[in-house]
Copies of this chain bind each other. A is one copy, B any other.
Amino acid sequence: MNFTPSTTSEKMKLRLQKFMQQYVYPFEKEYIDYNKQNNPDGNWQQWTTHPKLKELQNLAKKEGLWNLFLPDPELGQGLSVLEYAPLAEEMGRIYNAAEIFNCNAPDTGNMEVLYHFGSESQKEEWLIPMLNGEFKSVFCMTEPQVASSDATNIETSIVEDGDSIVINGKKWWSTGLGHPEAKLAIVLGKTDTTADKHKQHSMVLVPLNTPGVEIKRMQNTFGVYDAPSGHGEIHFTNVRVPKKNLIVDFGAGFAIAQGRLGPGRIHHCMRCIGAAERALELAILRSGTRVAFGKPLAKLGGNSERFAKARIAIDQARLLTHYAAWKIDQVGVKNSMTEISAIKVVAPNVLQEVTDMAMQIHGGAGLSDDFPLINFFIQARALRLADGPDEVHLRMISRLEFKKFLS
């Protein structure tokens, strides 16, 4: 056992930190404010990205801080999930910074799907341009009518019709749907409801400009639209795509989705750790300068204990994230279900609690746009539902425990 990060990872992290210090921290407030103020409501047709974003992306690409999530040494940077962890944490310290490095969800998960399961032509048509940052994508899984945390509930139909595939159904909470550059949806649906329950699903590539695709509305979380990416509701009405857009095969969708969510969940958790570190840092800094009852907040009541507990929670969450990442690297997603589910519960909850505490230290200002805490809070709160609610992950863990002891 050895907790020293790999040299590759460590070196990359130093370069990333330097980039963040030089370009991203100074840009943070302007970036977050732009995204809210220039895209004030749900009219996604008018949403724009900050003009400087593309410039920073090009800079990151030039410096090799690009596609860090992808293990492939040619297409990505050849980092294992574990090696990528500290980098994702670093990005997570600033809300949405991952986008600058082409490392943001759901594009990363979508690229992974294409990388691991896509045909050669799918890779050429979709993966390569996405790796170049040429367009954005969405992943359409959750449905309004059913509790989609149980994927067997999914109702969208994906059926073969001659040389085509026909898609009908409604999806919502599709992240990235409002992005001006969004071009592709990866859609999960059912082809054969009579098959074994894990063989019913198919996954298909649907360009957003296909007839029958309709973006109904953007949805908000806590009133925030998270522009210019957004999360939205999308309807598919007799949408027809060529068969070559099918990923792997009919009936393979469930398995692909499971695999997709493994590293993706870890990436989310890594970013949560970074955000939690940042929130703690902000809280400590604030507590040293604000004075009440004759003392800095740091010395009042239980504040110092709260900081200590946050430190402990964050360090534990980081270790568990690294351990889950390592397990994925070593034995694959399928054999790391306890660890993936565990960290998927832990990391967002730690972020929510630490941010809540940091807000309390900041007073009213902590709840407002004056500080980045609300972004972290909403990120945490949403993530406790996204990619499987806490309860579903706890369920998974307990089932695996029962298997160990009650067979």
Q: Is A315 an interface residue (CB 8 A)?
A: yes
- Of A222, A285, A319, A389, chain B has the most CB atoms within 10 Å of the CB of A222
Q: Is the CB of B304 within 8 A of A301?
A: yes
**A36 vs B339: C-alpha distance when bound (angstroms):** 40
Q: Is the CB of B222 within 8 A of A292?
A: no
Q: Is the CB of A284 within 8 A of B401?
A: yes
Q: Quick one: closest B residue to A389, CB to CB?
A: B360
**A6 vs B2: C-alpha distance when bound (angstroms):** 9
Q: How many residues of A contact B (CB 8 A)?
A: 100
> Nearest-CB distance from A374 to chain B (Å)?
5
Contact of A360 among B223, B322, B360, B384 (CB under 8 A): B384
**A184 vs B305: C-alpha distance when bound (angstroms):** 38
> Nearest-CB distance from A406 to chain B (Å)?
4
Segment at the interface with B among A55-63, A147-155, A185-193, A264-272: A147-155
**A404 vs B310: C-alpha distance when bound (angstroms):** 15
Q: Is the CB of B153 within 8 A of A307?
A: no
Q: Quick one: closest B residue to A356, CB to CB?
A: B381
Segment at the interface with B among A12-20, A44-52, A66-74, A362-370: A362-370
Q: Is the CB of B82 within 8 A of A308?
A: no
Q: Is A11 an interface residue (CB 8 A)?
A: no
Q: Quick one: closest B residue to A150, CB to CB?
A: B292
Question: Interface digits, A281-310 against B, CB 8 Å rule (1 contact, 0 not)?
Answer: 100110010111100011011111111110
Q: Is the CB of A284 within 8 A of B315?
A: no
For A250, what are the chain B residues with a Cβ–Cβ distance below 8 Å? none
Q: Is the CB of A285 within 8 A of B406?
A: yes
**A327 vs B374: C-alpha distance when bound (angstroms):** 35
Q: Is the CB of B147 within 8 A of A345?
A: no
> Nearest-CB distance from A14 to chain B (Å)?
16
Question: Interface digits, A88-130 against B, CB 8 Å rule (1 contact, 0 not)?
Answer: 0000000000000000000000000000000000000000000
Q: Is the CB of A222 within 8 A of B219?
A: no
Question: Interface digits, A345-384 against B, CB 8 Å rule (1 contact, 0 not)?
Answer: 1100000000010011001111111100010011001101
For A317, what are the chain B residues with a Cβ–Cβ distance below 8 Å? 316
Q: Is the CB of A315 within 8 A of B307?
A: no
* A residues 380-396 in Cβ contact with B at 8 Å: 381-382, 384-386, 389-396
Q: Which 6 A-B pairs give the minimum distances between C-beta atoms?
A: A302-B302, A308-B397, A150-B292, A304-B398, A319-B319, A308-B394
Write the residues of chain A forming the contact surface with B, with a CB cutoff of 8 angstroms: 1-6, 36-37, 40-41, 82, 142, 144, 146-150, 153, 172-173, 219-224, 231, 280-281, 284-285, 288, 290-293, 297-298, 300-309, 311-312, 315-317, 319-320, 322-323, 326-327, 338-339, 342, 345-346, 356, 359-360, 363-370, 374, 377-378, 381-382, 384-386, 389-399, 401-402, 404-406
For this complex, 10 residue pairs linking A to B, each with C-beta atoms less than 8 Å apart, are: A37-B41, A147-B291, A147-B292, A153-B291, A302-B394, A307-B401, A311-B342, A316-B317, A360-B384, A366-B385
